[in-house]
Amino acid sequence: MIPKDHPRYESLVTREKLVEGVKLGVTALQGLIAHGRGEAFDYILGEKTREFALKAEKAAVAALLLAKHPVISVNGNVAVLVPKEIKELAEEVNAKVEINVFHFSKERVKKIAEYLSSFGINALHACDAELKGLSSARRIVDSKGILIADVVLVPLEDGDRCEILKKHRKKVIAIDLNPLSRTARMADITIVDNVIRAVPKMVEIAREMKNTSKEELKKILEEYDNKEVLREAVNGIIEYLETVKKSL
């Protein structure tokens, strides 16, 4: 048991969830390493949802609400970190959920599907189609999901697949704590925030935006500038480090 008053309670609980995920065969061991890189960036971002992330989260919800075939892609980390919130977001924006993993095995995909189903998520995982131009297992998709999607939300993406999704003319929304990653720079909308904060925040935003007109949603998207948001994120890190430096 992690004591509630531990200064790193949130972070420790998150790690426990991922370790449990590995034991269940849902999360890949490599997922733990990826999370570590994410945590390091979260640390130097001040471990909270910053203004640039909020801006991207709003644009992302607008894009999902405007989409014809929105799909939320889920891997072994996302499945154990925010299953309840993924279900809520999918319902709010009327999106499909699809399982898509880098470290592929039929058995693992089945375990993730069963895990998600215990949270009431009926995730696509037919693995009956291919995204041409990609050699990793991320190319294996569902013909009713990512293959025909126009907007794909990819929390914790790999740079290569992000590029291919773009080549297949899909609008890509990434959640990535590293504003320098290939994914972050390749996506149309990059949310530089922890998935454990970003997804619940997007559910909240989606509920608020429910009655927003299409014109208003389009305007939010038109005014959104991802390069600017990434610059703000890098500045956010610099400013945070400057503040810490002054306090030393």
* Sign for the pseudo-dihedral over CA of 26, 30, 32, 35: negative
- Sole window of 57-65, 108-116, 172-180, 199-207 interacting with ligand ATP (rule: CB under 6 A): 172-180
Would you give the DSSP letter of residue 146?
A: G
What is the distance between the alpha carbons of residues 124 and 158, in angstroms, rounded to a whole number?
A: 20
Residues 168-207 vs Mg ion: string with x where CB under 5 A?
----------------------------------------
Choose between 72 and 177: whose C-beta lies nearer to ligand ATP: 177
- Binding residues for Mg ion, how many (CB under 5 A)? 2
* Sign for the pseudo-dihedral over CA of 101, 102, 107, 111: negative
DSSP lists the bridge partners of residue 174 as: 154, 190
Residue with the shortest CB distance to Mg ion: 158
User: Which residue in 85, 157, 158, 163 binds Mg ion (CB under 5 A)?
Assistant: 158
- Sole window of 21-29, 42-50, 151-159, 189-197 interacting with Mg ion (rule: CB under 5 A): 151-159
Contact indicator for 22, 32 with CB cutoff of 8 Å: yes
The DSSP line for 107-143 is: HHHHHHHHHHHTTT---B----EE-TT--SGGGEE-T
What is the distance between the alpha carbons of residues 155 and 124, in angstroms, rounded to a whole number?
A: 16
Residues 177-216 within binding reach of ligand ATP (CB under 6 A): 177-178, 181-183, 194-195
Residues with Cβ within 8 Å of 171's Cβ and at least 6 positions away in sequence, in order, are 63, 67, 150, 151, 152, 188, 189
User: Which residue in 86, 156, 165, 202 binds ligand ATP (CB under 6 A)?
Assistant: 156
Choose between 158 and 188: whose C-beta lies nearer to Mg ion: 158
Choose between 154 and 205: whose C-beta lies nearer to ligand ATP: 154
Binding status of residue 38 toward ligand ATP by CB under 6 A: yes
Least distance from C-beta 160 to ligand ATP, angstroms?
7
Polymer length in residues for the chain: 248
Collapsed DSSP state (helix, strand, coil) of residue 74: strand
- Sole window of 89-97, 102-110, 153-161, 169-177 interacting with Mg ion (rule: CB under 5 A): 153-161
The contact set with ligand ATP (CB under 6 A) reads 34-35, 37-38, 41, 156, 158-159, 175-178, 181-183, 194-195
Q: Would you tell me which residues interact with Mg ion (CB under 5 A)? A: 158-159
